[in-house]
Amino acid sequence: MSNSTAKPLKFDLVVIGGGPAGYVAAMKGRMAGFRVALVEKDKIGGACVNKGCIPTKALWGTAVHLQRLKDSEEHGVSIGKVVFDFAKAMKRQYGISAQMSLQIEGRMGRLGVNAFSGTARLVGRTKSGRFFRISVEGGKAPELTARHVLIATGSHPSESEPLMADHKKVLTTDDIIGIEKQPKSLLIAGGGVVACEFASIFSKFGTKVDLLEHSGQILSWMDPEIVDVMMGVYKRDEVNIHLHSKTKSIDRSGKGLKITIDKGGKDHVIEADMMLLAIGRRPNVKGIGLEEMGVKTTERGHIVVNESLETGCKGIYAAGDVIGGAMLAHKAWYDADIAVRAMAGEEVRTNYETVPGAIFTVPEMASVGITPEQARKNKKSIRIGKFEYRENAQALCVGKTLGMMKAVIDRDTGKVLGCSIVGHDASNIISEVALAMAAGLSVRDIANTIHPHPTLSEMVQESFLDTEGRSIHKF
């Protein structure tokens, strides 16, 4: 990133933070004709590219490959003993993250985004009151001024007693993607997306995995029938899921860890080489001058914005993890687009009803919209359709027959309300349903769309046909 003082000091937009919301807003701003500066204190790409989405999915890709090798015998392919090199797998994910960060930085440079290294802080307005003043500490950049500011400072891993990281044996999700030696045993605190992904990844690597979830279901917002399939996979892979469990204490005095947990009112001790804290994330809002500018935050620290993502201080916007909601890179991209369009004078509002979610376990899980249980709580009259992978031709051909797809429609209008999937390539399949929902399509629109054969995409058509009892290949 450039720290040159020769760059213009006066901008139309200054973006604070270079993660998914930040770098997309910077690029969108340039495309809208704005003079744009972006300030990032670490690496371009933020937590997603450097510590989250990309490193974990690189490791997930390795886990998928290991499973593929394990399954090769049924295809008539004998490969002998598989040797896994943990250090090489880790080195690979570092390289992928570095490549993506450089690609984003290069794209910003070609578009004419002025990128500065350092920590940005809002320090007031210019004398005219028309521009915001932003200082940049820790770098060579001078003070910047801008008509608009976008805060996209992201989030960091949560910790709370007794779940406090020492960054050696008790790790945050930032720490674990940097470890040098594979643990023989790993205890994961948390039952959300990140926890379940790492449980899959490390179990495929050969690590003994235990996972603690305080409620009665991992991935508590997901359809229970879909989660049950994944629970069966964890059982097969000898991942120990401890429901209704929470950590009471962590003994760090030995070579490994001794963790005392409360499981259903009874104490148990679990020994592990390492413990991963996957208990959520908190917004990065300290030290950026919010209070001085009158920008309000919630009790959990998220920046309060309206439907156009503008804060209570006119001209200052916020996007991504820092405003709460689904902490997903693609939601942050969407936020960035809405914010920049609002700055440009468009009448735009956010709508998060069709944000899809993908969970990179082995096999994958994905969802969009609402589950049947959520629909009933909202007193909606619904129809449900199901289709299993073992009924799909391509799934049979490639040997990926575990899983199912579940569709939800409005009984009266036929409108698509939601979909949940567990199985091979679920993260890619879900996009068709997200598009259908965003476009306000009905079950008939999906049913009348010709899907190529043999493909996994046929399951979308079949599951929605099944909501009306018209599936052809459901046996």
Q: Just list the catalytic residues.
A: 453
Rounded to an integer, what is the distance from CA 98 to the centroid of its chain?
A: 19
Q: Which two tokens stand for residue 309?
A: 């993502």
Query: 380: which residues sit within 8 A by CB, 6+ positions away?
Result: 410, 417
Beta-carbon neighbour count of residue 66 at 10 Å? 18
In 29-106, DSSP assigns E strands to 36-40
Residue 347, Cβ density class (10 Å: 0-12 exposed, 13-18 middle, ≥19 buried) = exposed
Q: What is the token pair recorded at 461?
A: 């058509």
Smallest CA-to-CA distance from 363 within 408, 403, 306 is with 403
In this structure, what token pair is assigned to residue 198?
């790492």
C-alpha 160: how far from chain center: 22
Q: Report the amino acid identity of residue 301.
A: G
**Long-range CB pairs of 96-105, under 8 A, 24+ apart, other chains included:** 96/54, 96/55, 96/58, 97/45, 97/49, 97/50, 97/54, 97/55, 97/58, 100/45, 100/49, 100/54, 101/43, 101/44, 101/45, 101/49, 101/50, 104/23, 104/44, 104/45, 104/49, 105/1, 105/44
Q: Which of 91, 259, 104, 264 is nearest to 185 (CA)?
A: 259
DSSP string, 261-283: EEETTEEEEEEESEEEE-S-EEE
From residue 430, alpha-carbon distances to 163, 274, 295, 402, 450 in Å are 34, 34, 36, 17, 17
- Alpha-carbon Rg of the chain, whole angstroms? 24
Residue 30 CB burial class (10 angstroms; 0-12, 13-18, ≥19): buried
Cα of 59 vs its chain's centroid, Å: 15
For residues 177-200, one letter each, b for 16 or more C-beta atoms within 10 angstroms of the residue's C-beta and e for the rest, the string is beeeebbebbbbbbbbbbbbbbbb
